Amino acid sequence: MEKKKIISRHINIKSSLPAPGTKNLFTRLKKVESRSMHGQLPIAWKSAKDFYIYDISGNKFIDFTSTIFVANTGHSNDRIKKYIRKTLDNNFLHSYVYINEIRAKYIEKLVKFFGKGFQKAFLMSAGTEATEAAFKLMRMYGQKKKKRKLGIICFEGNWHGRTLAAQMMSGDENQKKWAGYKDKNIHHLPFPYPWKVSSTTPEKFLNKTIRKLKKKIDLKKDVCGVMIETFQGWGALFYPKDYIQKLSEICKKNDIIITFDEMQAGFSRTGKNFGFQHYDIVPDLVCCGKGMGGGVPLSGVVGRADLLDLPDIGNMSSTNSANPISCSAGLAVLEEIQKKNLTQKTKIKGKILHKELEKISKLKPNIFKVYGKGLIAALIFEKKIPGIEVKLKYFVEQCIRDGLLLVYTGRESIKIGPPLTISKDAIITATKIIKKNILSIFYDKNKTYRSSN
């Protein structure tokens, strides 16, 4: 990318891009690090504060990613730093599972923050550990009832992580080929994409898929759990509310545990404390991570006491469970959300973001649709646009040149999830960059769509 100077209140691009030294850093890492960690966009991070990212040349970008929906309370949040510093100054880095005050204080507050129906939690470090633990709890519950009650219902297109059970529950067939076998007790239902349910009702759509499943298995005797991502990750697509309410009813009737994967949706992201609250149901278990630790590795399963107590003493713990540094960060995240009223503010700022994106989507012809709630949004482009994935990669690179970082999904969507602390003004600046680059890539000078695209 050539040299270009951009200075505004929120953006300062003063070097050529990628910043000098970026290529060298890629080369050094490629020599010593697994290939799987590479292929990122060409931006070498030096630091991040609030909703800004600074690269190794001191270029300043607006962050529309929260790294990957982690920095909900803003990058390098002062309260998180203060609480971690206090724990460090207390000479307290680790205590394995030995009890301590910070762990008690955090878990008490966490369970209370979840509200009615939630009594206990189990903490870990990665999101995939949380979905793995929920898988185990659902299976343990089933096993207690009947040996054959092993089935877990999951969804097409959902994502739950990279460890074995998490990958088996995820919807992407290619990603799990390495396992070499399929768990025949994991059943994937089709996702009620808006374009699929438009000719029927969400309830009828669900009933049809359940009827098909019931030809193979008995729900009550064979199914112990449902694992559901609160919204479909790649496209920020929520389920229709009626669909989830009906699903929850089916679960209650058939003694099936319903688990929500709130990795991306939790901790105020969608304008509610948790995304499942949009559906007016209470899950039995919730898996969370990402924004939970505000940048420090922290994940957990929160839910009904009888489920969290299924494993025997020592049968569900990890060396780094409830690490004091992670608990300090988690506590600071909850206090930030509550003291700064982040959930309500996210709802308001989300409306501004969605309104601006909707305006861009009205360009004629309409080439993408906007999905999501609060400060999570996805632009889903027409799949039939030739080479759309490559074009969107180019689009994201052009936005970086203009000082904005977006999430490139590798498919026909772009995802947006700024820190919830972002200012309204920065949202407007960022959406102007999005509009400018959509116009220059997909439309000609008269704002007419380039059909040759």
Ligand X SMILES: Cc1ncc(COP(=O)(O)O)c(C=O)c1O
Q: How many Å apart are CA 370 and CA 361, to the nearest integer?
A: 7
Give the residue with the Cβ less far from ligand X, 77 or 264.
Answer: 264
Query: What residues pair up with 237 in beta bridges, in sequence order?
Result: 232
Q: In whole angstroms, how close is the CB of 130 to ligand X at the nearest point?
A: 7
Give the residue with the Cβ less far from ligand X, 127 or 372.
Answer: 127
Q: In whole angstroms, how close is the CB of 70 to ligand X at the nearest point?
A: 9
Q: Which of 265, 255, 305, 322 is nearest to 288 (CA)?
A: 265
Q: In whole angstroms, how close is the CB of 181 to ligand X at the nearest point?
A: 22
C-alpha separations of 232 from 190, 229, 420 in Å: 12, 6, 20
Give the residue with the Cβ less far from ligand X, 165 or 331.
Answer: 165
Residues 368, 380 contacting (CB under 8 angstroms): yes
Q: How many Å apart are CA 418 and CA 398, to the nearest integer?
A: 18
Neighbouring CB atoms inside 10 A of 220's CB total 13
The residue count of the chain comes to 453
Q: How many Å apart are CA 215 and CA 202, to the nearest integer?
A: 21
Residues 396, 41 contacting (CB under 8 angstroms): yes
Please give the residue ranges that form the binding site for ligand X (CB under 6 A): 126-128, 131, 159-161, 229, 233, 261, 263-264, 289
Q: In whole angstroms, how close is the CB of 265 to ligand X at the nearest point?
A: 8
Q: In whole angstroms, how close is the CB of 262 to ligand X at the nearest point?
A: 8
Q: In whole angstroms, how close is the CB of 304 to ligand X at the nearest point?
A: 21
CA 21 to chain centroid, in Å, comes to 31
Chain position whose Cβ is nearest to ligand X? 127
Give the residue with the Cβ less far from ligand X, 127 or 403.
Answer: 127
Q: How many Å apart are CA 393 and CA 384, to the nearest integer?
A: 16
User: The dihedral of CA 321, 305, 156, 232: what is its sign?
Assistant: negative
Give the residue with the Cβ less far from ligand X, 161 or 192.
Answer: 161
Residues 132, 121 contacting (CB under 8 angstroms): no
Q: In whole angstroms, how close is the CB of 451 to ligand X at the nearest point?
A: 36
Q: How many Å apart are CA 63 and CA 76, to the nearest integer?
A: 13
Q: How many Å apart are CA 235 and CA 187, to the nearest integer?
A: 22
At 112, the amino acid letter reads K
Q: In whole angstroms, how close is the CB of 287 to ligand X at the nearest point?
A: 7
Q: In whole angstroms, how close is the CB of 159 to ligand X at the nearest point?
A: 5
In terms of DSSP H, where are the helices of 146-240? Answer: 164-169, 194-197, 202-214, 219-222
Give the residue with the Cβ less far from ligand X, 408 or 442.
Answer: 408
Give the residue with the Cβ less far from ligand X, 229 or 402.
Answer: 229
Q: In whole angstroms, how close is the CB of 235 to ligand X at the nearest point?
A: 13
Give the residue with the Cβ less far from ligand X, 271 or 291.
Answer: 291
Could you give phi then psi for residue 7, rounded to 5 degrees? -130, 125
Give the residue with the Cβ less far from ligand X, 268 or 437.
Answer: 268
Q: Which of 153, 176, 323, 343 is nearest to 244 (CA)?
A: 153
Coil, helix or strand for 121?
strand
Give the residue with the Cβ less far from ligand X, 300 or 403.
Answer: 300
